[in-house]
Amino acid sequence: MVKQTIQIYGRIKPTKKNTTVYSVDNEEQTGAFLEFLVPRDLADGFVNNKRECYKFRFLKVFDQAVEQEEVFENIAKPVADSVLAGYNGTIFAYGQTGSGKTFTITGGAEHYSDRGIIPRTLSYLYERFSQDSSMVYTTHISYLEIYNEMGYDLLDSRHEASRLEDLPKVLIMEDPDQNIHLRNLSLQQSANEEEALNLLFLGDTNRMIAETPMNQASTRSHCIFTMHLCRREPGSATLRRSKLHLVDLAGSDRVSKTGLSGQLLTEAKYINLSLHYLEQVIIALSEKNRSHIPYRNSMLTSVLRDSLGGNCMTTMIATMAVDRRNLDESISTCRFAQRVALIKNEAILNEELDPALLIARLKREIQSLKEELAMLTGEQRDGQLTVEEIQRLEELVKAFLDDPDPDVMLSLGPDMRKIQFCFSLLKMMIMDKQRGGNPNADGKASPTAAEREDSQQSAAEVTKLKEMMTHRDNEISILVKMLKKEKKRAQDAVAQIANTVNGQRTASQDASGLSTMPLLREGSPDSISTGHRGRAIKHMKRVKALSR
Ligand SMILES: Nc1ncnc2c1ncn2[C@@H]1O[C@H](COP(=O)(O)OP(=O)(O)OP(=O)(O)O)[C@@H](O)[C@H]1O
């Protein structure tokens, strides 16, 4: 496993205008710094007027004069090498409209030297395949365009698309293991560089033809060119599969600045929405202890899920225009890049066993072993033991056991099936003897064992019932104790009241001669202890219920 943060590079688009507003400092050891100096009078409303200097760190910044070759060597070649080794790789370009994303990823059309990362990487990979005769490489290509949250297959070879909607629509599916599958996205095999380049041209042509007057496709859509690579050593069942995504994102311009309306505004909102979701994913990934990453919010983040915080080596190129009116966008591109730089990926070697090859190889191995065995024993042993063979073996075992000679041999020949059968027969006999029963003809558990199992079960039930009874007894004795206490308290109360009443009677008889008998009746033991008796009756009822 290779743990790596997303690698961040910057690229400045050539301009003829005044470029004193920025400076690049490429240091080999410490990385590069890109600094924007925005004098206050230059800030045209979008840049924070309070600050004049903005400094951002990159792995390297490619200044205006840097050629496509150098960009490829520094950025794409290392990613292509890791894809060759079996790791997934992604390179994506991010920046405002017209800042050079398409130029960097696909290239310019005017000169051969303007070829971008995709054609150069294809050329490099096919050259490496031809140099390595110890491996068999298979490549497939897909080219996806995402526009207004809908995916389109750019490798549709019917040449019938005159609008984007004519291209096959790509749907996103997720399996129970949360793996993303793209339905309707064709995977075209490409045996060599020429075929791969033809697929790239087909995709770019479909992209251009399908542009609506409103939609300049490269500006308003995201494009993902993917190379699927499979590497296998001849004869080996192990193979390595890796993917290389080369991504040209839509312009990152802020809607407020574009001054759009109507359909264009809707498009811009969609694009900005999906870039906004991309940003949300990046923010979530750069925060520690964030458990939920909102990949599912947009098609772009779902497709690039592995590239962002997953099993992939990812590189970002921030493209920037440095003329004054674009400075605010360039600064926000740099800010985005700084956040992306915090994301950690964990790339693993995508090695797997080819099940079909493995099965074929094992079948061949079994066949040759069978043939070898047949040659040695002179017998064919394909299936199970026959009834006659089993009977014969039982006789042999019986004779072996009955023979009093301690040196007697059980001779079965070099047949594992017979040896194993005799062993299990002997084991069954020993087990039955230990239980004191006799072996059954079919070798299954004897009735004695079944009976023992039954009696063990009933013993367990009896123990359980006894435990329940003890539990109930305890409860009853507690209740009886409570009852006795209550009775005692009631008797004490009665005695106390009787004493009081007797005292009063004596006093009143003495004073007026009136009888206090009614008072005594009301306060008689029965009447006084009604509450206690009620509780006692309740207890008794509970005791009865429990002991039932
Ligand atoms: N490094 C460069 N050297 C020469 N020309 C460049 C460079 N970068 C960009 N350009 C030119 O600038 C123009 C706009 O570039 P490009 O189309 O690549 O921008 P973009 O960021 O892809 O824009 P969009 O978001 O609209 O797709 C093109 O004509 C391109 O050839």
- 149-164 per-position pLDDT tens digit: 889 999 987 766 677 7
User: What is the Cα–Cα distance from 84 to 77, expressed in whole angstroms?
Assistant: 10
* pTM confidence score: 0.66
* Whether the CB of 13 sits within 6 Å of ligand 1: yes
Nearest to 323 by CA among 25, 95, 93, 99: 99
Q: Whose CA is nearest to atom 16 of ligand 1?
A: 100
Q: 378 labelled as ligand-binding?
A: no
Q: What is the mean pLDDT of residues 431-437?
A: 79
Lowest mean per-residue pLDDT among 30-44, 293-307, 480-494, 517-531: 517-531
Q: Where are the beta strands (DSSP E) in 370-462?
A: none
Q: What is the pLDDT of residues 230-240, one digit of tens each?
A: 998 887 878 89
Cβ(218) – ligand 1 distance below 6 Å: yes
Q: Is the CB of 102 under 6 A from ligand 1?
A: yes
Instruction: Note the helical H segments in 221-309.
Output: 255-258, 262-286, 299-303
Ligand 1 center to residue 321 CA distance, Å?
10
Question: For 218-246, what is the mean pLDDT?
Answer: 88
pLDDT in tens, 485-525: 888 888 888 888 888 777 665 554 444 433 333 333 333 33
* Closest-CA residue to 226 (of 142, 315, 300): 142
> Region 44-67: what's the mean pLDDT?
80
CATH architecture of 2-349: 3-Layer(aba) Sandwich (3.40)
pLDDT at 443: 47
Residue 367 is which amino acid? Answer: Q
**pLDDT of res. 504:** 62
DSSP E strands: which ranges in 121-166? 136-147, 150-153
For range 342-363, the mean pLDDT: 84
**Residue with tokens 């206090």, as numbered in its chain:** 516
- Going by C-alpha positions, the residue among 218, 503, 240 that lies closest to residue 347 is 240
8-state DSSP, 486: H
What is the position in ligand 1's atom list of the atom closest to the CA of 64? 1
301-352 tens-digit pLDDT = 999 988 888 889 999 999 999 888 888 889 999 999 998 998 888 888 888 8
The whole-number pLDDT of residue 254 equals 63
How many residues does this entry show for the chain?
548
What is the residue whose two structure tokens read 């290509």?
A: 141
Listed range (30-34, 216-220, 348-352) with the worst mean pLDDT: 216-220
